[in-house]
Amino acid sequence: MKVLTAILSIMQVACHGQLSSNYTDLRYHMVGNQLTTRGISHPATLKAMQTVERHLFVPMSLRKHAYDDTPLPIGYNQTISQPYIVAYMTQLLAPKASDRVLEIGTGSGYQAAVLAEIVREVYTIEIVPELGNRAKNLLQQQGYDNVTVIIGDGYKGLEPKAPFDAIVVTAAPEEIPPALIEQLKDGGKMIVPVGPPTAVQTLVLIEKKRGKVIRTELSAVRFVPFTREK
Ligand code: SAH
C-alpha cells in the first residue's frame, strides 16, 4: 500500500511538477503572508483566493512561482496580475453571491475564477483569441459553469447582459470607456486602472449612486495597455 502511495505521488509530481497538497500549502502562505497582512479582510475574497488553483492559470514552466508575490507572463505579451492586486480589486468591488459581474481582460482566466467563486454570474471579454479560448477551456475543466468567456474588444462592454452589479477592468485604458459606466447598475462599483500605456497608472473606483457617478482615485498601479480592435 505504501509503495502504491509512493508511486502515485511520484506520478502526481511528474504530471504537475509538485504535489497538489504542496500547492494548497503555498496558497495558504500566500493568503497569510501577502493578503491578510496588507489589509485584505473581505471573507469571500480570502476564501476564493484560498480556493482557486492559481498554478493551473500560469504556464507550466512557471508553476513553482504561481504563488509568489509577483505578476507572471502568460504569453502574447500579457500577464496574470500579482495575487495581492487580484484580491485588492476583488475586495474593492465588495461582490455579493447574487451579483452579475463583467470583467474586461480575461487573460489567464484567474480573476474570473476568483469572482466566480463568489458571485452568481461572470462575463469576461478577451481581445486576444488564443488567450480567450485557453481560459475558456481551463475554466470549463475547472467546473466554473457560471463564467462566460467572450472573444472581442471590451470597449463597448456587453450591452445584452447589462446592467452589471460590478465591473472590473484588468488592462489600462487612457480614459474609462463610456459604455462601461453606462452598463454599471445603480449602486454598482467598477474598478479600472487608468493612465498612459507606458507609465504608472492610477487605480480608479467608480460608484454609481442615484444616477450620480462618483470617481475615487486609489493607488498607483501598472497594468498592460487596453488595446482596441482594428
Ligand atoms: N484578468 C487577467 C489579467 C490579464 S492582463 C488574469 O487574471 O489573468 C489583461 C488582459 O486584457 C490581456 O489578456 C489583454 O489581452 C486584455 N485586453 C486588453 N485590451 C482589451 C480589450 N479592449 N478588450 C478585451 N480584453 C483586452
- Residue 230's pLDDT is what? 77
Walking along the chain (230 residues) 10 residues at a time, the average pLDDT comes out as 53 54 94 98 98 97 97 96 98 97 98 98 98 98 98 98 98 98 98 94 97 96 92
- Residue 183's pLDDT is what? 98
Find, among 57, 102, 94, the residue nearest to 79 by Cα. 57
- Residue 198's pLDDT is what? 84
Find, among 122, 106, 195, the residue nearest to 165 by Cα. 122
Q: Report the nearest-CA residue for atom 2 of ligand 1.
A: 107
CA-CA distance, 10 to 34, in Å (whole number)? 30
Q: List helix spans (H) across the chain.
A: 2-16, 20-30, 43-51, 83-93, 110-118, 129-141, 178-182
- Residue 3's pLDDT is what? 57
The rounded radius of gyration (Å) of the Cα atoms in the chain is 18
- Residue 150 CB partners (closer than 8 Å, separation 6+): 123, 124, 125, 126, 132, 158
Q: Which atom of ligand 1 is nearest to the CA of 110?
A: 7
Which domains, from first to last, does the chain contain?
2-221 (3.40.50.150)
For residue 151 the three cell numbers come to: 472573444
C-beta of residue 109 within 8 angstroms of C-beta of residue 86: no
111 Cβ closer than 6 Å to some ligand 1 atom? yes
124 Cβ closer than 6 Å to some ligand 1 atom? no
Residue of 89, 223, 227, 228 with the most ligand 1 atoms within 8 Å of its CB, for mutation = 227
- Residue 229's pLDDT is what? 84
128 Cβ closer than 6 Å to some ligand 1 atom? yes
Burial zone of 118 (CB within 10 Å; 0-12 exposed, 13-18 middle, 19+ buried): buried
Q: List, for residues 80-126, the tens digit of each pLDDT value.
A: 999 999 999 999 999 999 999 999 999 999 999 999 999 999 999 99
Find, among 171, 203, 201, 168, the residue nearest to 184 by Cα. 168
170 Cβ closer than 6 Å to some ligand 1 atom? yes
**Model pTM score:** 0.92
Q: Which residues are bridge partners to 126 per DSSP?
A: 151
CA 18 to ligand 1 centroid distance, Å = 28
Question: Catalytic positions, please?
Answer: 81
